[in-house]
Amino acid sequence: LNKETTSDFGVRVVLLLRFLAVIYINCNWDITGGNDLISAMMPGSKFNADHSLLSKETIIQHKYEQLNMIGNGSHGIVYKARDLANNETIVALKKITVPYNEDGVPTSTLREIATLRQLDRFEHPHIIKLLDICHGQRLEKEQQLVMFLVFEYIDQDLARYIERCPPPGLEERTIKHLMYQILSGVDFLHSHSIIHRDLKPQNLLVTNTGHVKLTDFGLAKMYQFDMRLTTVVVTLWYRSPEVLLSLPYETAVDVWSCGCIMAELYKLTPLFSGTSEGDQLDKIFRVIGTPSKEQWPENVSLLWSSIVPRQPIPLEHIIPEISTHGKQLLQQMLKFNPAERVNTFQALNHEYFMYKTDGKTF
């Protein structure tokens, strides 16, 4: 076997092992230590009626003191709060509302909570830690239940980190350090059959020591190997071509978002800042070039003939500071065809992150 064949074989072995691990995890999904979680979550079950995944009989005001609002998005309001039962530790309190009816909380909602709990068991260093889940009041008129997700508190996101970066910008070594952590977190999600679907600087928290953690799983979705998702997701500037074209998508949407974030770490401004879906596609094609007619996907409403033909711009013209290996990785993450993009495992093993002559990783 030559070097290339051996490397490809190694990747295939790792992917196979991951597939088997996912099967094992999904077949042992009971995080309550008792009966099978899926059957326990069915409407009308004692599990659903008691909200077994929530802190029972919790009165949120008695456990946490809300200090100030630190975020307000489509998936809930986030407060800085004090944990009154744990030495007044500062936490992040995310308030959300979920549908509620005579059968209780929908199975889909409980499954999402179970996913968060399952992820938390692994204590991955680059996934935000879920500390508690509490239920609040029922809004009978709206048929909604107020819930609070309690996370560890980190006081800045990557967007603010970039904003605070002094001229002339971040050193490539620092960018590598940040990107490796981001890709590690995303790779962990993908290895557990989860697509984040909303990766952007605002959903990446950064400590004062440069430690990155993924957060905001409001759009995260479990997927199966024969399942292709079609729901509109991802903030516009970090949205992949297949999502913009309303095509089915898989984990590669997260890789595209990571590529956009990587470019932003170099530029300190978004790579593709479109004002609409059409403008976003045009900005993408201005950089990577217009796909050929043969590359254009079938069954999309946007005709290939209606697109302005553009030649790709060399990345070094857009990001002069990027290294050769950095350019290669970024190009592989920003492929128009999702099947041609690197996956997270391949990205983490790219030469961009390899050892240098001084023996240091980056």
Is 187 catalytic? The answer is: no
Give the three-class secondary structure for 213.
strand
Q: CA nearest 274: which of 265, 259, 287, 262?
A: 287
Cα–Cα distance for residue pair 135/95, rounded to 1 Å: 10
Across 335-353, b (16+ Cβ under 10 Å) vs e yields bbebeebbbbebbbebebb
What's the burial of 75, exposed, middle or buried (CB within 10 Å: 0-12/13-18/19+)? middle
> CB of 113 within 8 A of CB of 80?
no
For residue 212, count other CB atoms closer than 10 A to its CB: 23
Q: CA nearest 215: which of 285, 98, 131, 102?
A: 131
Q: Is 283 annotated as a binding residue?
A: no
- CA–chain centroid gap for 39, Å, is 28
| Neighbouring C-alpha atoms within 13 Å toward the C-beta of 97 | 11
Q: Which residues contact 1 (CB under 8 A, 6 or more apart)?
A: 9
Cα–Cα distance for residue pair 104/100, rounded to 1 Å: 6
What residue has token string 């297949």?
A: 242
Beta pairing partners, 79: 69, 93
Q: CA nearest 333: which of 229, 225, 261?
A: 261
Alpha helix segments (H runs only) across 123-230? 158-163, 172-191
Q: Write down the catalytic residue from 187, 198, 216, 254.
A: 198
What residue has token string 């961009």?
A: 352
Structure tokens that stand for 56 in this block: 């029972």
What residue has token string 């490539």?
A: 172
Fill in the DSSP letter of residue 358.
T
* Catalytic site positions: 198
> What residue numbers does the annotated binding site for ATP cover?
94
